[in-house]
Structure 1
Amino acid sequence: MASIKKFQVTFDCAEPERVARFWCEVLGYVAPPPPEGFATWDDFHRTLPPEERGAWFACSDPTGVGPRLFFQRVPEGKVVKNRVHLDVRAGTGLVGEERLAVLEAECARLVALGAVRVRLLPADDENESCIVMQDIEGNEFCLD
């Protein structure tokens, strides 16, 4: 049996630091400190050639449990639906109206951060309700 590997989730985006800081707020993640010898990330970026400034950013779960998130600048914009997306597990273990109330409250918090609510997927015979959303650059995710 293969050993379990750590992994990171990588986002292609136009503004890596902006998107990373959005996800920090969503997930309670933290941005790393700037490289040694620099007081801020802006100080570090000013030492890079213009085309490399702001080309990437990362954040991580402060508990070390969740995967690292990496954001990289790409020239093309988002065109179609994501093939992979995150499920933000806000309603784990809850059902019915209690679950829906928790999801709606979290949805309101995320919309205030710049997310967009797309639609509610109501509960059916197999699944509980979830809310499909988009982050600040239009990447889909589910509030589950």
Structure 2
Amino acid sequence: MTATGQVKQVRQVQVTFDCADPERVARFWCEVLGYEVPPPPPGFDSWGDFDRSLPPERQGSAFACQDPTGAGPRLYFQKVPEGKVVKNRVHLDVRVGTGLTRKERVDALEAEAARLEPLGATRVRLLVSDDYEESCLVMQDVEGNEFCLD
């Protein structure tokens, strides 16, 4: 309840990516996170069938993926005409080193980076632990969007 006695409403969150190739980026994130592509809309056997039903200027303009458990946010990918030119203001942290410290943590981050690089991820830099933060590995997805292995 809030201070005024009203019941607080919990809202779901969707994370949206601007990109050039929505399906490619969505399928990359499916592999990274263990997400899946949701079923196509009723009346369509596949997303390809649905996409072909759209006007030509809308084809390939969006794609999505979701956590099969329902716990994580839905990811939505929308085609935009401009390319990425600056660092993301928001990024995903993929939590692969939770509870690990020092070398054990770096080893886990490196192992995940080795799994993701053949999928198209690019390693940017390893930020080594200091007195305040544990190590994390900055990466980029298939279109250059930054994310961290944390």
* Alignment TM-score, normalising by the size of structure 2: 0.93
In the alignment, structure 1 residue 5 sits paired with structure 2 residue 11: yes
What are the Cα deviations for residues 97-117 of structure 1, in whole angstroms up to 9, with x where unaligned?
A: 111111100001111110000
SS at match of 1:72: strand
Q: How does 1:48-67 map to 2 (within 5 A)?
A: 48-67=54-73
Question: Structure 1 stretches of 5 or more lacking a match?
Answer: none
How is 1:66-77 mapped onto 2 (pairs within 5 angstroms)? 66-77=72-83
Q: Deviations over 1:27-78 (max 9, x none)?
A: 0001011122222111111111111001111111111110110100000000
Q: Report the Cα distance in structure 1 between the residues aligned to 2:51 and 2:73, rounded to whole angstroms.
A: 25
User: Does residue 31 of structure 2 align to residue 25 of structure 1?
Assistant: yes
RMSD: 0.9
Q: Which position in structure 2 is the counterpart of 1:135?
A: 141
Select 1:46's aligned residue among 47, 52, 62.
52
Q: CA deviation at 1:4?
A: 2.6
Could you tell me the TM-score, scaled by structure 1's length? Answer: 0.97
Return the alpha-carbon distance in structure 2 between the equivalents of residues 21 and 59 of structure 1.
8
Distance of 2:44 and 2:10 partners within structure 1: 35
User: Any runs of at least 4 consecutive aligned residues in structure 1 with deviations exceeding 6 A, and if so which?
Assistant: none
Gaps of 5+ in 2: 3-7
Q: Distance in 2 between matches of 1:141 and 1:21?
A: 16
Q: Distance in 2 between matches of 1:126 and 1:74?
A: 38
Q: Give the match for residue 90 of structure 1.
A: 96
Query: Rg larger in 1 or in 2?
Result: 2
Q: CA deviation at 1:3?
A: 3.2
